[in-house]
Structure formats: C-alpha cells, structure tokens
Structure 1
Amino acid sequence: MGATGSGKTTFINLLSGSNLEVGSGLQSCTSTVEVASPFQLDGRWISLIDTPGFDDTTRSDTQILTQIASFLATAYESGKKLAGVIYMHRISDVRMGGISTRNFKMFRQLCGDSTLKNVVIVTTMWGEVSREIGEAREKELANDSKFFKPVLDKGAHMLRHNNVVTSAQAILFHLIGNHPRALTIQQELVDQKKDISETAAGEELNRELVTQINRHKQEVMMLQEEMKEAIRAKDEETKKELDFETSKLQAEIARIQEECRRLASEYAEQKEALEQRVAEVMAAARKDAEIVEENHRRQLQELEDRLHQTAMTSSSEKEEIQRKLSELQRRFEEMRSQLKPRRGRGVFGKIGRTLDSGLHL
C-alpha cells in the first residue's frame, strides 16, 4: 500500500518477475487490486498484492476503499490472512503533504493497531536525494508523532528499499516468518458484520469527505459575498466568472455527497461480484477433480483386471503391473493436490487468482 508513484508496482515486479503496469507520469496505473505471479523465497511461496493509493487519478477514494475492502473480506472468508503489509513512502518527497497524510491515515484504519507488528514502512526513491538529505528526512519521519512514530512505537518497522533485488528480499525476509493476522477491516466486515461505513476506514473516509464538503461550502459562501459586490458594481464579467466558479463548487459538493451515499452500495456490488467468481472457480475445480478421479478409477480397474487375468503367468509381468498401479496412484495424488487451492499458489491458490480477476469485472 502507499501513495501513487511510491514504487509499489515496481517493487512487486522486481521480486516476482511479473509485468504489472508501472506508471511513468502523473497518471496512476494501478486502478484496482492486482495479484502478482507467485514466487519462491527461502523455500516459501510468496504472493504480493498491489493496491491503488487513495490519491488515484482514475477512481474516487470510495471506489478504492470498496475494492480493497471487498478483496480483503472475501480472502478472509476463504480462510486467508496476510503475513505482512508493506507501506511505501517516497523519501524524495520534500514534506509529507495532505495526500501522503490521507493515504497513511487510511492505511492505519485498514490495518488497525493489532497488526502493526506485521507492518513494514518502506522508504523508496533514495537515488533521487543525497544521503544526508534522505537520512535527515528518514529521522524526521521516524521521530515525529505527526508521521510514522506512532506506528513504529506499536511494533511496525521502517526499512529502506534501494531499488535492487537484495534490498527488496531483505524486506520480505522481515515478514515471511510472521504469524498471519487478520486486519481490522477484515474483522469488522466479516467477524463483526459491520456495514463498511461503520468500519474505522469507512468512518475515516466519511470524515474526509465531510471535511471536503464543508470546505467547499465555505468557498461558495465567499463567492456569494463577492457576487453581491459584483452585482452592486454592475460588473457583469466578474459576475459571470463567479457564477461559473459557484456552479463548479456546487457540482463538486453534490458529487462528494453522492460518493458518501454510494459507499455501502459499491461495496455490496464488489463483494457480490467476487463471491460469484469464487463460487464459479470452486465449481470448476470440483468438476476437474471429478474428471481426474473418474479417469483414475477406470485406469485402476483396467490394471486390476489385467493383474487378475495374469494369475497364472510369470512373476515379472505381475511385477510390471504392480509397478504401473503404484505409478498410477502416485500421479493421481499429484494431480489431486494440484487441483486443490493451496496456500502459496497464486495469492491464495485458485481463489487468489479468482479474487484478482474478479476485481476487473
């Protein structure tokens, strides 16, 4: 997780060999939750999940929250938890402005304090600043209570990523041995059956939206005062400009109000789509398993018939049939295990890949 352009997708591609699209300009490329190809590290299967930031250029914060929340809730319902969460921040940023602060606030509400021991804050873009400047900013971020100090005090860690495989792997080594934990958003939506607007992240988003609405209303009031003055001065050109600006602000207020109302319904739509895709892939997996088992039974019966028919023949032929029976059973067990959704295949086995593709509906 992290702001747009903080290096999330590049980090994932570097480690996994995936080809997730990376943004090169101001436009965000990660507009939905994406699951990278699984890879092995230190004998473990690793799957990394890419999420859009809450400053996405193509989707609203409401859409981002519903996408992330529905993915996490569906995964949790399938019995899957995260071993770690990585939050990325550009050390090249001169200051931690409003956008970065909003992203980090939403991140904290999604994770909750109980999972902070499984959180690593990763600073990126070290090649864009001098070592002295980077270290000074890193110290400020770690020690200022307005930035990362509160989460570091509660068990999170802060590491650097130098855009090379070794530093990326070092970050994962810090997480892969963790006991997987449910995030707060998962517990709220699944265990506590809360409406998304009642979750900590939903309430934070609503507070942010209400703040935006109030700010725009203040701006409208100021424009209305200027309008009165323009009318008194019979300044038609200024009046037209103020009319235009007022209409823009009122339209923005209406959009934000609609965004508040849409939070619950958008989550329900996303969740339903994901659940349908999971049901489909599980049905397909069961069908595949039935076909495999039927073929196995048929081949097994054929070999047993041959063994019975060769009761009076040479021991060497019997040994060959027994060998084939053993080989058939071994292959059957391998195929059956491959059809099972297994931890470490995809993000969450077949379910993980389905959750990924489901978010692209």
Structure 2
Amino acid sequence: MVTNQDKITVAIMGCTGSGKTTFVNLVSGSTLRVGDGLESCTTEVQLSIPFELDGRLVELIDTPGFDDTSKSDADILNMIATYLCDTYRTGKKLAGVIYLHRISDFRFGGIATRNFRMFRELCGESTLKNVVIVTTMWSEVTPAKGATREHELATNTKFFKSAIDKQALLLRHDNTLSSAQSVLHQIIHNNPRSLRIQYEVVTQGKDISQTAAGEELGRELAAQTRKFKAEMKALQEQTNAAIKAKDQETRVELEEERAKLRDQMMKAQMDTDKLLSNFKEDNERMEERLKSMEVEHERQRAELEKQLAAAKDRAEQDAISARLNELADGGFFAHLGRAFDSGLKSLGGLFGF
C-alpha cells in the first residue's frame, strides 16, 4: 500500500502554451483548466490529484509562466515563491522540476529566454541535476526539423546547454501517457532538494526582492524603464519638431504614442513596487494559515490519544490507533496540498484576479 511517506512532489514550469496543464492532466488524471490559445488559463498555482507511479504517490504542481497574459512577472514570482516557500517550511521538498518548451517555436525569442532565465534563478545551480527539460508539440514539426532544433537547444550556450552541462536532462514528450510517465521515471526516485529561492527566503531570511530571481526581475524592470525613458525622450523631440513644423496630424499621432509609453512606464514601476511589497504580505497571510492548520492537527492528535486511553474494546483501540498512525504518517501534510489549492484561490484576490 502506497502511503504519504512515499509521496513525492514535482513542479511543472515553462512558457504559456507549452503544454504544462495538459501534461499534468494527462499523467495524473486531473481536470485542471487548459487554455485553447496563447492566453494563459493557469493564473494560479494548481495541484494535481495524487497518483501512483512505480510504487510512489506523485503530486504535480502546475505553475503559470512568466509570460502570463493576465499577470505581471512580479505577481507570478510572488505567487510561485509564496507557495514553494510555505510548503518548504512544512518539510516538503521537490523531487524534481520539469521545464516544458515548445519544439514548434521557430525562434528561442525574448519571452522564452526570460522564462528560462527566471526558471534558472528560481532553481539554482545545485538543483539542476533534478531538472528535466522537456520539448513538446512534436506533432507540429517534421521529425527532421524537430531534431535540428533539439540539437541546437542542447548544444547552444544561449539555450539549454549550460543547464545540461550541470546534469539537467533534455527529453521529448509526444503527448502520450507513456511518454509523460517516462519523463517522470527520471525524477521520482531522486533525492528531494530545496530550490534556491526556498533556501534564500526560508533559511537565509531574504525578502523576495533580495533573492536571485527577484534581483533578476529587478534588473529586467530597470532595463525596461531605461528603454522607455529613452523612447520617451525621442518621442518628445519628434513632437517638438512636429509642433515647429505645424504638422498637427503627426503631433497627434506622437502624443498617442507617448501616452501608451507612459502607461508602460507606470506598469514597470508598479511591478517594481509589487516586487518589494507583495511577497511579505502574502507570505504573512499564508504563515497564519499554516499555523492554524498545525493547531488543528495537534488538537486532533490530542483528542485521539484521549479516546485511546479511554477505549476498552480491542477493535476500538485498533481503529483509534490506525487514525493516530495516519496523522503521524503525514495526515497533516496530506491535507495541506488541498488546503493550499483552495487557499490560493482566495489568495488570488491579493493579486487582482
């Protein structure tokens, strides 16, 4: 019989539309919502139903990508960090992380680069031996074209080579159950490891903005701000020239562009502010939830021990002992995932969805 002591947890990450939720549903039998197009449906951290594989109870964490269509990168980082760090405080470590990438992508563009860079900073170098990079969407390319792209991904330092050099695996997923299970076979017997962001926040006591992932996002937001300021200056010069030339039509068009640019600059500033403030508030709320759950767990244990002491019938004693063993065998942690699943839905309100 598989128990909670045999349960392992695996996180699924990657760009929007890479097939994360589809992979989770396929291998676990869950019914998490899947997006039909480029718009993200995974606007929160989601948990699969636990399922058995090779004598282990497996639970998958489905995460939104850093190119989410409805949330900022700061929101996504706060959301993922809050979940990972609070589960880490309960003693739960990840057996591995699966990063999905579309082999059908013609180019490894800026969005994919940013996603993988944030992924690397979240995981840290020492955890890469527990990482599997999985290419998806093979049905959308010819075998020859797919193999060429796969080779480039594996051998180009701009892509996945540096991670593979540190023992990350590169595998294919052809959207079949056997393929998904083969990917998990590479992970489920790993020694669980903490991710860099978990160690930084929980062990070192860093704020999210001080972590490697937070600093990477901060650098990107600062670069965006510098770019926007340069563009704003150029637009102002063009507007001044249009005014001088009495070119009303051009002046109006340039003013519209400046207004759009101002909105982008404000968004970048808001994301920076969120990076500094949201995580602390969300983490405190989640810690309060954990403490209340721990109190309830202890209350149940004490009540069962009291019932056991008063029980005279052997069958009743055995039944109570079994319930106590279930609690000691991870009953609290077994219910924790479901509690987080519902808790994160309400937590979503903090992020504006």
TM-score between the two structures when normalised by the length of structure 2: 0.91
Q: Does 1:234 align with 2:246?
A: yes
> Could you tell me which residue of structure 1 aligns to residue 22 of structure 2?
10
The total of aligned residue pairs comes to: 334
Q: What aligned pairs does 1:31-46 form with structure 2 within 5 A after superposition?
A: 31-46=43-58
> Could you tell me which residue of structure 2 aligns to residue 272 of structure 1?
284
> Could you tell me which residue of structure 1 aligns to residue 39 of structure 2?
27
Task: State how far apart, in whole Å, the 2-side matches of 1:234 and 1:340 are.
Answer: 80
SS at match of 2:14: coil
> Could you tell me which residue of structure 1 aligns to residue 59 of structure 2?
47
> Could you tell me which residue of structure 2 aligns to residue 79 of structure 1?
91
Q: CA RMSD in A?
A: 1.6
Q: Which stretch shifts more, 268-277 or 175-184?
A: 268-277
Runs of 4+ in 1 over 4 A off after TM superposition: none
Q: 2:109 aligns with which of 79, 85, 97?
A: 97
Q: What's the CA shift for 1:329?
A: 2.7
Q: What's the CA shift for 1:35?
A: 1.1
Q: 2:317 aligns with which of 329, 337, 342?
A: 329
SS at match of 1:152: helix
Q: What aligned pairs does 1:191-340 form with structure 2 within 5 A after superposition?
A: 191-298=203-310, 300-301=311-312, 303=313, 325=314, 327-340=315-328
Aligned-partner residue type, residue 258 of structure 2? T
Task: State how far apart, in whole Å, the 2-side matches of 1:219 and 1:263 are.
Answer: 24
- Checking the alignment, whether the CA contact within 8 Å between 1:341 and 1:351 is kept in structure 2 is no
- Checking the alignment, whether the CA contact within 8 Å between 2:132 and 2:171 is kept in structure 1 is yes
String of CA shifts for 1:99-129, please: whole Å, max 9, x gaps: 1000000000000100110000000011111
SS at match of 1:74: helix
SS at match of 1:186: helix
Aligned-partner residue type, residue 350 of structure 1? H
- Checking the alignment, whether the CA contact within 8 Å between 2:207 and 2:280 is kept in structure 1 is no
Q: What's the CA shift for 1:255?
A: 2.0
SS at match of 2:94: coil
Q: What's the CA shift for 1:341?
A: 6.5
Q: What's the CA shift for 1:283?
A: 2.6
TM-score between the two structures when normalised by the length of structure 1: 0.89
Task: State how far apart, in whole Å, the 1-side matches of 2:41 and 2:343 are.
Answer: 18
String of CA shifts for 1:243-265, please: whole Å, max 9, x gaps: 12112212221221121122131
Aligned-partner residue type, residue 183 of structure 1? L
Q: Any gaps of 5 or more consecutive residues in structure 2?
A: 1-12, 347-353
Q: What aligned pairs does 1:116-127 form with structure 2 within 5 A after superposition?
A: 116-127=128-139
Q: 2:198 aligns with which of 186, 191, 201?
A: 186
Q: Does 1:170 align with 2:158?
A: no
Q: Any gaps of 5 or more consecutive residues in structure 1?
A: 304-324
Q: Which stretch shifts more, 248-257 or 107-116?
A: 248-257
- Checking the alignment, whether the CA contact within 8 Å between 1:270 and 1:359 is kept in structure 2 is no
Q: What's the CA shift for 1:215?
A: 1.4
Relative distance call for 1:103 and 1:35 in structure 2 (3 A) is same
Q: Does 1:129 align with 2:124?
A: no
Q: What's the CA shift for 1:340?
A: 4.4
Say which structure, 1 or 2, has more relative contact order (CA 8 Å, 6+ apart).
Answer: 1
- Checking the alignment, whether the CA contact within 8 Å between 2:308 and 2:321 is kept in structure 1 is no
String of CA shifts for 1:338-361, please: whole Å, max 9, x gaps: 33472xx79x52222223322222
> Could you tell me which residue of structure 2 aligns to residue 154 of structure 1?
166
Q: What's the CA shift for 1:91?
A: 0.4
